[in-house]
Chains A and B, each alone.
Chain A
Amino acid sequence: MSALLAVRDLSVTLRSGGEARMLAQDVSFDVARGQILSIVGESGSGKSMTAKALMGLLPPNATVSGEAWFRGANLLAKGSAPCRGTGIGLIFQEPMTALTPVLTIGTQLTEAMVVLGLADPAEARRRAIAMLDRVGIPAPDRRMRQYPHELSGGMRQRVMIAMMMLLEPEILIADEPTTALDVTVQAQILDLLRDIVRDTRIGLILITHDMGVVAETAQDVLVMKAGRTIEAGPVARIFTAPSAPYTRALLDAVPRLDRPGSSAGMVAGAAAGKTLLSAGHVSKTFHARAGLFASGLATRALDDVSLDIRQGETLALVGESGSGKSTLGRVITRLTDADHGAVTLGEENLLTLRGKSLRAARRKIQMIFQDPYASLDPRQRIGTSIAEPIAIHTTLSRAERQDRVGGLLARVGLTPEMAARYPHEFSGGQRQRIAIARALAAGPVLIVADEPTSALDVSIQAQILDLLADLKREEGLTMLFISHDLAVVRQIADRVAVMRQGRILELGPTEAVWTAARHPYTRALIDAAPVPDPTRPRGVRRPVSGDFAIGALREAALGHWVAT
């Protein structure tokens, strides 16, 4: 296999404010025709910088060294013209921002072809329509006249791919092309990329942090950490016999959708627990407000949702974006007011509480948020933040509060001395630990965790999930765990509720749902989720169609409910 692109000792240095940082160091790899090379690593590993260096798109304060041979020329040599477009194409992570908002899809698809002399306008247009069709966009004629904001995220990513493929590059670099997409859409885009490589024999460099995506798509893998290559090799070897400890740790940290989680053993016991909190017929509609008047645009975030949470269990809410799972969590914590329904905790309907009694009731339910950076008041010492619930609900003295905070910090794996520091002095994982400590401080009976790990790198995610599992085991914590990541859910949850468009479609014990999903949407979700196992057959998915049963839940098996 002769290499299309040969990269040798590529290094990128970024200079800012008198300091120089090596973002990539001595990276070498080859890409051949028809090959999918995956560069995998956590944030800050230098994988994106490597791609940008090859494209000649580094920021002005970055310098690059090394060689990258493509079409007989060194791309990194000073003064060499980058082979953007016709040589190497690039696809970005965020399809929302990667297309120019003020130009039509048609213009953006055809302009480069015309400017680079590949086709005249009419021909370019013809080809563009054909390509849109090829990447699976219905009614391509009409799409040509539309603007990016009129398309969904998945559509836009298809347009991006079409745009790059129209220039007939020999190499395509896809930088986290599916990270911003829902799992079902991700699966489609990955399928599309694989098909394109197969049909056109281009080389694809797929940059990702997701070992599942790697296993599903790549032939060869390059593992990077802090700018350095940790190891490289064929995908099968990397997954079965990783040589570097880091790679192994990375693989270990990945939650496995295809294996039962550590908490599976507790299912039976928890299922027997009595109901702690019960949500009944909760509905919530959001009205988009445009200026002076409420506009007619309304989103049904929750549509007659009922749900019980039992003492000591972890109940997971799973769904794609817009499914209403977060809204339900916020309704239960009273951060959002529901339109209808009741949430009863003990004898109390939480939704009718006001003022003082509401504030008093709040200590029983605490929340952990997705974004660890925004979760803590940047202008308070973390000790103060953690102590806040204690200060509000108890009459403990300052010293006693400090003791409690110290204990909580120790409990979440930090040291009591850290209480005097400010949030910006901590890493993302540490902040999430602090947020958990704060949630525990009030002594809640229920913790609502809204995507608590999705902003974290996989290795840190594993630590946080372990911490949550520990807390559950040792403190008997009850948790409502909201996530889009099926693998995480399988690892941590006792029961799962699958949501879509404001309704629960399936609800049951985790293992039952996984091994015998009864709702087609649940099955589609499970199918679409990438599995970090390269031996698993690729690309056998059932398409997710729009028409599902969304009626009332019916008990299909013991404790396993499905929409009718």
Chain B
Amino acid sequence: MWRFLSTRIAMGALTILATTVLVTLLIHAVPGDPVQIMYAQSQGTTPEQIEEVRRSLGLDRSIPVQYAMFMERLLQGDLGTTIRGGQPVLDVILQRLPNTLVLACSAMFIAIVIGIPIGFLAAYREGSLVDTGLMILAIAGISMPHFWLGLMLLFFFALELGWLPVSGNGPLNLILPALTLGLSNAAIFARLTRSSMIDVMHQDFVQTAYAKGLPKSLVLRRHVLRAGFLPVVTMMGLQFAFMMGGAIVVENIFSWNGVGRMAVEAIFQRDYPVIQGFILTFSVVVVVVAIGIDALYAVLDPRIRRA
């Protein structure tokens, strides 16, 4: 297990390292002069001051030196300051990150609570009308753009029915965005669970369990569910990353004050330090969650736990 996990952690570290490189290069890929864009609104800035900013950002140095400077600041927890308003990027992100995490986790919870039982039921009734019906529902769910689903939910539950508030970041405000994000992923979970469970149900060891005279409920619960759940667990890391990605859109629909909304604003404002910080934060979160899920998987699967 330690070998498995250390590999995953090394992989994660590599990913984050690659992100830092990418993020440093990002500002160079920008068409035009980023410093000009940053200070476009300042009438008082002299060319000397622009040069000063360029120097302080290291943009006059070679890229490796810039990277070293970036990393040095990063290791001190300094992600630079926003162009709009000149505030520490880290503060801006940390203030909003919890909101995004809460949203993604709630959506994950919804996806699991809805998706896995449906997938299990469909697998249990494989080939039946119930199975067909549920899977049609699932494929429809996957095909539904979540920004559209979000708008429809907003329209019906907030505007037409007025059941739920539409602004702010309270627990009731969480319901719609989490539902939007959760439902489409529930469909993915349902399909995944179904195929995984069906795979397992056709395995010899399930036949063995039946041959021992175990009742169906016990076979399903102890043998099928446990073994069939593992592939679903491995997918959770990836799904969480999807959730984080989906949150970008959903936050914008529901005015949820998370890093996704911040990122889109920053893109419009060409606020490069914020974009850099966002990309870095996003990949750190995704990597950490993926490692967490891998650890969970390692604990659940004896083949890895005992390796």
Contact = CB atoms under 8 A, between A and B. Distances in A.
Asked if the two chains touch in their complex, CB atoms less than 8 Å apart, one says yes
A111 B222 CA distance: 10
Interface residues of A, number: 38
Nearest to A169: B213
Contacts of B55: none
Contacts, number: 101
B211 interface: yes
A150 interface: yes
Contacts of A225: none
Given A97-B205, A103-B223, A149 B306 contact: yes
Interface string B192-222: 0000000000011111111111110010001
B10 interface: yes
B28 interface: no
Interface stretch (A18-26, A129-137, A287-295, A312-320): A287-295
Contacts of B226: 100, 102-103
A55 B222 contact: no
B13 to A, nearest CB: 10
A17 B98 CA distance: 53
Contacts of B213: 82-87, 112, 115-116, 167
A231 interface: no
Residue from A84, A101, A102, A167 having most chain B Cβ neighbours under 10 A: A102
A261 B170 CA distance: 85
Of A82, A86, A111, A167, most B-chain CB atoms within 10 Å: A111
B238 interface: no
B306 A84 contact: no
A346 to B, nearest CB: 46
Chain A contact residues: over half helix, strand or loop, or mixed?
loop
Interface in B25-50: none
B306 A99 contact: no
Nearest to B230: A102
Contact of B211 (A55, A102, A295): A55
Contacts of A72: none
A501 B223 CA distance: 36
Interface string A146-162: 11011000000000100
10 nearest A-B residue pairs (beta carbon): A85-B213, A291-B7, A90-B211, A112-B212, A84-B213, A147-B302, A97-B204, A98-B204, A100-B205, A85-B212
Given A57-B210, A84-B212, A291-B7, 7 more contacts: A57-B211, A100-B226, A102-B302, A112-B213, A163-B208, A167-B213, A290-B3
Interface of B: 3-4, 7-8, 10-11, 14, 127, 203-215, 218, 222-223, 226-227, 230, 300-303, 306
30 contacts: A84-B211, A87-B213, A90-B208, A90-B211, A92-B207, A92-B208, A94-B204, A97-B204, A100-B206, A100-B208, A100-B226, A100-B227, A101-B301, A101-B302, A102-B300, A102-B301, A102-B302, A112-B213, A115-B218, A147-B302, A149-B303, A149-B306, A164-B212, A167-B212, A167-B213, A290-B3, A290-B7, A291-B4, A292-B11, A293-B10
